[in-house]
Amino acid sequence: MTAVEEAPLSPAGNPIGFGNMKRVEDQRFIRGEGNYVDDVNLPGMLHSAILRSPYAHARIKSIDTSAAEALPGVVAVITGKTLEGIPRPSLLGDNFAWMPTLSYDTQAVLATDKVRFQGQEVAFVIANDRYIAKDAVELIDVDYEQLEPVMDAKKAMEPDAPVIRDDKGQTDNSITDVHGHKTWESGNAIGTAEAIAQAEADPNCVVVTQEIMYPRVHPAPMETCGSVSYLDKVTGQLTMYTTSQAPHAHRTVYAMVAGLPEHKIRIISPDVGGGFGNKVGVYPGYVLSVIGTIVTGKPVKWMEDRGENLMSTSFARDYHMTGTIAATKEGKILAVDVDVLADHGAFNGVAQPTNYPAGFFHIFSGSYDYPHAHCKVTPVYTNKAPGGVAYACSFRITEAVYLIERLVDCLAAELNMDPAELRLKNLLRPEQFPYTSPTGWEYDSGEYEKTMRVAMEIAGYDELRKEQEEKRARGEYMGIGFSFFTEGVGAGPRKDMDILGLGMADGIELRVHPTGKAVLRLSVQSQGQAHETTYAQIVAHELGINPEDIEVVHGDTDQTPFGLGTYGSRSTPVSGAAAAVVSRKVKERARQVAAAALECSPDDLEWELGRWYVKGDKERGKTITEIALLSHGSLELPEGVEGHLDATAVYNPPNLTYPYGCYICVVDVDPGTGQVKVRRFIAVDDCGTRINPMVVEGQVHGGLADGIGMALMEVIAFDEDGNNLGGSFMDYLLPTSMECPTYELGETVTPSPHHPIGAKGVGESATVGSPPAVVNAVMDALAPFGVRHADMPLTPANVWRAIQGNPIRVDMAVE
Amino acid sequence: MQTPAPLADYVRATSVADAIAQLEKYGEDARLVAGGHSLIPMMRLRLARPEALIDINDLDELKSIKVEGNEIVVGAMVRHREVLDSPLLFEHYPIFRECEKVIADPVVRNRGSVGGSYCQADPSEDLSALGSALRGSVVIQNSTGTRTVPMREFHFGPYMTQVGDGEILTEVRFPIRPGAGSAYEKVERRVGDWAVASVGTFVVVKNGVVEDCGIGLAAVGAEHFCVPAAEEFLIGKAPTEENLEQAAAMAAEGCNPSSDQRGPADYKKHLAKELTLRALRRSVQSSQGA
Ligand SMILES: Cc1cc2nc3c(=O)[nH]c(=O)nc-3n(C[C@H](O)[C@H](O)[C@H](O)COP(=O)(O)OP(=O)(O)OC[C@H]3O[C@@H](n4cnc5c(N)ncnc54)[C@H](O)[C@@H]3O)c2cc1C
**Per-residue pLDDT reduced to its tens digit, A213-224:** 999 999 999 999
Q: If pLDDT is split at 50, 70 and 90, which confidence band does A352 have?
A: confident
Query: Do the chains contact at A795 and B263, CB–CB below 8 Å?
Result: yes
User: Could you give the CA distance from residue A266 to residue A414 in angstroms, rounded to a whole number?
Assistant: 58
Other C-beta atoms within 10 Å of A54: how many? 16
CA nearest A146: which of A104, A174, A118? A118
Chain Cα centroid distance, residue A733? 20
Q: In chain A, what percentage of residues exceed pLDDT 70?
A: 98
Inter-chain CB proximity B3 and A131 less than 8 Å? yes
Residues of A within 8 A of B1 (CB-CB) are 38, 130, 303, 305
Q: CB within 8 A of A801, min separation 6: which ones?
A: A674, A790, A807, A808, B264, B267
pLDDT band at A599 (very low <50, low <70, confident <90, very high): very high
d(CA A719, nearest CA chain B) in Å = 10
The string of pLDDT tens digits covering residues B14-69 is: 999 999 999 999 999 999 999 999 999 999 999 999 999 999 999 999 999 999 99
What torsion do the CA atoms of A686, A687, A693, A699 make, to the nearest 10 degrees? -100
Measured CA to CA, the distance from residue A162 to residue A170 in angstroms comes to: 11
Who has greater pLDDT, A91 or A708?
A708
* From B32, B62, B102, B172, mutation site for ligand 1 pocket: most ligand atoms within 8 A of C-beta: B32
Which of residues 102 through 131 in chain B touch A, CB cutoff 8 A? 105
User: Which of A52, A708, A800, A809 would you mutate first to test chain B, the one with the most B CBs within 10 A?
Assistant: A800
Query: Chain B contacts of A675, Cβ < 8 Å?
Result: 187
Chain A CB contacts of B124 under 8 Å are: none
The pLDDT of residue B290 is 52
Question: Residue A2: its pLDDT value, please?
Answer: 44
Sign of CA dihedral B261, B265, B270, B273: positive
Most confident of A491-505, B117-131, B275-289: B117-131
Residue A150 pLDDT greater than 90, yes or no: yes
pLDDT of residue A88: 73
In order of A165, A168, A344, A347, A395, the CA distances from A176 in angstroms are: 12, 11, 12, 11, 19
- For A53, A78, A728, the CA distances from A59, given in Å and listed in that order, are 11, 18, 26
Residues in chain B with CB shorter than 8 Å from the CB of A795 are 189, 262-263
Q: What are the residues facing A718 on neighbouring strands?
A: A724, A812
Cα-based torsion angle of the residue sequence B264, B266, B270, B272 in order, rounded to the nearest 10 degrees: 70
Q: What is the distance in angstroms between the CA of the first residue and the CA of the last residue of chain B? A: 54
Domains of chain B: 9-55 (3.30.43.10), 60-175 (3.30.465.10), 181-286 (3.30.390.50)
Ligand 1 centre to CA of B29 (Å) is 18
Atom from ligand 1 closest to the CA of residue B128 = 11
Confidence label for A391 from pLDDT (cuts 50, 70 and 90)? low
Residue A532 has pLDDT above 70, yes or no: yes
Q: Give me the DSSP letters along A170-203.
A: -SSSB---TTS-SSEEEE-HHHHHHHHHHHHH-T
pLDDT value at residue A426 = 98
Q: pLDDT grade, residue A95 (50/70/90)?
A: confident
CA triple A257-A261-A265, angle to 5 deg: 80
Q: Which residue of A has its CA nearest to B5?
A: A135
Please name the residue whose Cα sits nearest to atom 1 of ligand 1.
B104
Paired strand residues for A617: A614
Chain B residues with beta carbon closer than 8 angstroms to that of A714:
none
Whether pLDDT at A392 is above 80: no
Closest atom of ligand 1 to CA, residue B77: 41
Confidence of residue B110 (pLDDT cuts 50, 70, 90): very high
Best residue among B24, B73, B120, B191 to mutate for probing ligand 1, ranked by most atoms within 8 Å of CB: B120
Q: What one-character-per-residue DSSP string does A199-214 give?
A: HHH-TTEEEEEEEEEE
Predicted confidence at residue A1, as pLDDT, reads 40
Q: Is the ipTM of this complex over 0.90?
A: yes
Residue whose Cα lies nearest atom 14 of ligand 1: it is B104
Out of B6, B263, B278, whose CB is closest to A797?
B263
Residue A257: pLDDT band (50, 70, 90) is: confident
**Which residues of A lie inside 8 Å of B (Cβ-Cβ)?**
38, 49, 130-131, 133-135, 138, 303, 305-307, 672-675, 712-713, 717, 725-726, 728, 730-731, 733, 735-736, 738-739, 795-797, 800-801, 808, 813-815
Contacts of A133 in chain B (CB under 8 A): 3
Which chain B residue's Cα is nearest to A736?
B191
In sequence order, the β-bridge partners of residue A372 are: A335
Q: In the predicted model, what is the mean pLDDT of chain A?
A: 96
Q: pLDDT at position B288, please?
A: 76
Nearest CA in chain B to A304: B1
Write the single-letter amino acid at A299. Answer: P
Three-class SS state of A583: helix
CB contact under 8 A, B3 and A134: yes
Alpha-helical runs (H) found in A382-426 = 397-415, 419-426
Q: What is the pLDDT of residues A558-595, one digit of tens each?
A: 999 999 999 999 999 999 999 999 999 999 999 999 99
The 10s digit of each residue's pLDDT in A23-37 is 999 999 999 999 999
Rounded CA separation A157/A302 (Å): 37
pLDDT score of B215 more than 60 = yes
Q: A815 to chain B: which residues are within 8 Å by CB?
A: 259, 264
Which of A135, A306, A713 minimises the CB distance to B6?
A135
* Percent of chain A whose predicted confidence (pLDDT) is above 90: 94
Q: B51 — contact with chain A (CB < 8 Å)?
A: no
Residue A3 confidence class, pLDDT cut points 50, 70, 90: very low
State mean pLDDT over B260-288: 97
Closest CA to A546 of A5, A13, A16: A16
Distance A794 CA to ligand 1 centre (A): 29
Inter-chain CB proximity B2 and A736 less than 8 Å: no
When the pLDDT of each residue in chain B is averaged and rounded to a whole number, the result is 97
pLDDT digits (tens, 9 = 90+) for A46-60: 999 999 999 999 999
A438 Cβ neighbours under 8 A, 6+ residues apart:
A187, A188, A365, A370, A371, A372, A373
State whether A736 and B189 contact (CB < 8 Å): no
Q: Which of B2, B3, B282 to mutate to test the interface with A (most CBs of A within 10 A)?
A: B3
User: CB within 6 Å of ligand 1 — which residues?
Assistant: B 31-39, 41, 76, 103-104, 108, 111-113, 115-117, 119-120, 125-127, 163, 168-169, 192, 194
How many angstroms does the Cα of residue B253 sit away from the middle of ligand 1?
Answer: 29
CB contact under 8 Å between A814 and B260, yes or no, is: yes
Select from A50, A132, A673 the residue whose CB has the most chain B CBs within 10 Å, as the one to mutate to test that interface. A673
Q: Which tens digits make up the pLDDT trace of A113-142? A: 999 999 999 999 999 999 999 999 999 999
Q: Where on the phi/psi map is residue A483: left (φ > 0), alpha (ψ -120 to 50), or beta? A: beta
Give the Å distance between the CA of B81 and the centre of ligand 1.
Answer: 13
Predicted pLDDT of residue A11: 96
- Nearest-Cα distance to chain B for A165, in Å, is 30
- Find the mean pLDDT for residues B214-238: 98
CA of B37 to the centre of ligand 1 (A): 5
Report the alpha-carbon distance of residue A739 to residue B175 in Å, rounded.
Answer: 37
C-alpha dist (Å) from residue A786 to A414, A417, A790: 11, 15, 12
The helix or strand, by DSSP H or E, that contains position B42, with its residue range, turns out to be helix B39-44
Comparing alpha-carbon positions, the chain A residue that sits nearest to B2 is A305
Dist. CA B109 → ligand 1 center (Å): 10
- Over residues B82-86, mean pLDDT: 98
B258 touches chain A (CB under 8 A): no
Residue B68 in contact with partner chain A when CB distance is under 8 A? no
User: By the 8 A CB rule, do A7 and A15 touch?
Assistant: yes
